[in-house]
Structure 1
Amino acid sequence: MKPFTENVVNIILSIPSGRVMTYGQISKLAGSPRGARQVVRILHTMGEKYKLPWHRVINSKGEIGIKDEGLFMEQKMSLEEEGIVFQTEKKIDLSLYQYEPDKKFVE
């Protein structure tokens, strides 16, 4: 596994219940500030294998970015079960729920 990919997996695994991180935030912490799309790819291809809490990753607007209605509802319900309250149908307040790890994931 490449270092960036390993960092992304470890960061996503570190997100605690009831908190979220953005794709861009994860890519920056993992060592590639412009790698948000790579984070999406890693979640899609490795999410199940590594049991990643994919539902805790949202876009920089604080919104669920998934277009598929079934997956959208699965993500929203998973976040609500963890205590996250939505401001609108798909948006949460990042100032309340965004996780800011103090651990550095890249050397």
Structure 2
Amino acid sequence: MTDFTMNVINIIQNIPYGKVMTYGQIAKAVDSPRSARQVVRILHSMSEKYGLPWHRVINSKGEIGIQDEEMFLTQKMLLEAEGVIFKTERSISIKDYLWDVNFIDKL
């Protein structure tokens, strides 16, 4: 496993209950700001194996990016269960729920 992958997994595992991060924010946090799509691939392929809270990762618009209706509803339900309130069908207020990535310095 690459350092990039291990670091992405570590960041996602540490997103707190009721908070979210964006794909791009995670990529930037591991010093690879153009790798948001790779973050998506890691989530898709490793969420189950590593027990990642995949539902806490959203796009930069504050929206659930999943197109599959069942998975969209699952992600929305999981976020709502953590107290995240949706301002539209698909989006939340980034400023209210975005997790400050400065925690990385403490890991």
Q: Which range, TM-score by smaller chain?
A: over 0.9
Structure 1 gap ranges (5+): none
Q: Higher helix share goes to which structure?
A: 2
2-structure distance, mates of 1:80, 1:22: 17
1:14 to partner: Cα distance: 0.6
- Counterpart of 1:100 in structure 2 is 100
1-structure distance, mates of 2:103, 2:80: 26
2-structure distance, mates of 1:2, 1:92: 32
- Equivalent runs, 1:44-59 vs 2, <5 Å: 44-59=44-59
1-structure distance, mates of 2:87, 2:41: 27
Which stretches of structure 1, 4 residues or longer, exceed 4 Å deviation after superposition? none
The aligned length equals 105
TM-score (norm 1): 0.95
1:94 to partner: Cα distance: 0.5
1:13 to partner: Cα distance: 0.4
Structure 2 gap ranges (5+): none
- Counterpart of 1:10 in structure 2 is 10
- The two structures, once aligned, show a CA RMSD in angstroms of 0.9
TM-score (norm 2): 0.95
1:30 to partner: Cα distance: 1.3
Q: Does 1:25 align with 2:9?
A: no
Once the two structures are aligned, what percentage of the paired residues are identical? 62
